[in-house]
Structure 1
Amino acid sequence: MPDSTGTKPSVLFVCVHNAGRSQMAAAWLTHLAGDRVEVRSAGSDPGKQVNPAAVAAMAEAGIDISAEVPKILTVEAVKESDVCITMGCGDTCPVFPGKRYLDWTLDDPAGQGVEAVRPIRDQIKTLVENLIAEIAPTTPKATT
């Protein structure tokens, strides 16, 4: 699923505060897919900082998201993305033709300790791995 320039797919992760689930998903996708996918994350009501428990849980996996900052969801971010994924938080994206919209049902890490965030982190990793296999496999799919 190439982006509008025909090069690489782009993914937007959306959660209300852009402080936990969407930040972890964006970090996993960047970490696992490298430069094969363009990655964005945003929220309709961004928090002041990324959830410290999410930062700690991702650090345990060797991924540093401590410098990330919650960002506001914009129409432009949706327009520029091939796949828009909401994180089970009741948020919605503006709908444009030709975009793929998914909703991943995930527990909310807000107010939770790192022990509660670890399983959410691991669930997100699995979902991201499946997404990569579909939109940016390391070997192109054979055509028949």
Structure 2
Amino acid sequence: MKILILCTGNSCRSQMAHGFLQSFDDKLYVRSAGTHPAEHINPMAVSVMKEAGIDISDHIPVDVENYIDEPWDYVITVCSNADATCPSFKGRVGKRLHIGFDDPSKLSGTESYVTGEFRRVRDEIKNAFARFYLSEIKKVELPHCTCE
């Protein structure tokens, strides 16, 4: 199973999603990329992922053009900009999904506030990709929320 996760900078949200998804199943071929990749991964993303027991410190931002010719079972965008500007893939794409998250790297404020927001987004990514993994990859039927 080949999964590509896209964001704009490929420095934060897509890298966290990549880390979580790979941790769920090391048999998956997971890559992440950006439509306009940053120079390096966001240090706060590395830090909050370490807190969750996942080391993404060796990840580097990659341009989506590196993967454009490959076939993918899933291409998943995690930010609205990447969703809107997702390129047309020359290779086959089984399913294209959007699972969006706030961008904690754009925040300013106290260190405590910014760190808290990175943790919040990290946890949202973990939960959303766990649901994706269970429902799409493992084909486990999950209960629907009847919350208001």
Q: Deviations over 1:103-135 (max 9, x none)?
A: 112000214432111111111111111111123
Q: For structure 2, list consecutive stretches of 5 or more residues without a partner in the other structure.
A: 108-113, 141-148
**3-state SS, counterpart of residue 131 of structure 2:** helix
**Relative contact order, higher structure (CA 8 A, sep 6+):** 1
Change (3 A) 1:115 1:133: same
Between the aligned partners of 1:89 and 1:111, the Cα distance in structure 2 is 14
Deviation at 1:78, TM superposition (A): 6.3
Question: How many residue pairs were aligned?
Answer: 130
The whole-number CA distance in structure 2 between the counterparts of 1:70 and 1:106 is 18
Contact 1:88 1:106 in 2 (8 A): yes
1:73 counterpart residue number: 64
2:87 is aligned with 1:115 = no
Partners of 1:24 and 1:121 within 8 A in 2: yes
Q: Secondary structure at the match of 2:64?
A: coil
Which residue of 84, 93, 96 corresponds with 2:87?
93
1:15 maps to which residue? 7
User: TM-score, normalization: structure 1?
Assistant: 0.81
Aligned-pair Cα RMSD in Å: 2.0
The aligned residue for residue 135 of structure 2 is 134
**Cα distance change of structure 1 residues 33 and 138 upon mapping to structure 2, 3 Å threshold:** farther
Task: Report the Cα distance in structure 2 between the residues aligned to 1:75 and 1:67, rounded to whole angstroms.
Answer: 18
* CA–CA distance in structure 2, aligned partners of residues 104 and 61 of structure 1: 20
Name the one with the larger helix percent.
2
**Segment of structure 1 superposing worse, 20-29 or 112-121:** 112-121
CA distance in 2, matches of 1:15, 1:88: 6
Unaligned residue ranges in structure 1 (runs of 5+):
1-8, 140-144
Output one character per residue of 1:79-108: Cα deviation in whole Å (capped at 9) or x when no partner: 321101111231113256652111112000
Cα offsets for 1:65-90 (capped at 9, x unmatched): 11111000026346321101111231
CA contact (8 A) 2:74 2:93 kept: no
Report the CA distance shift for 1:40/1:127 in structure 2 as closer, same or farther (over 3 A).
same
Q: Distance in 2 between matches of 1:117 and 1:26?
A: 16
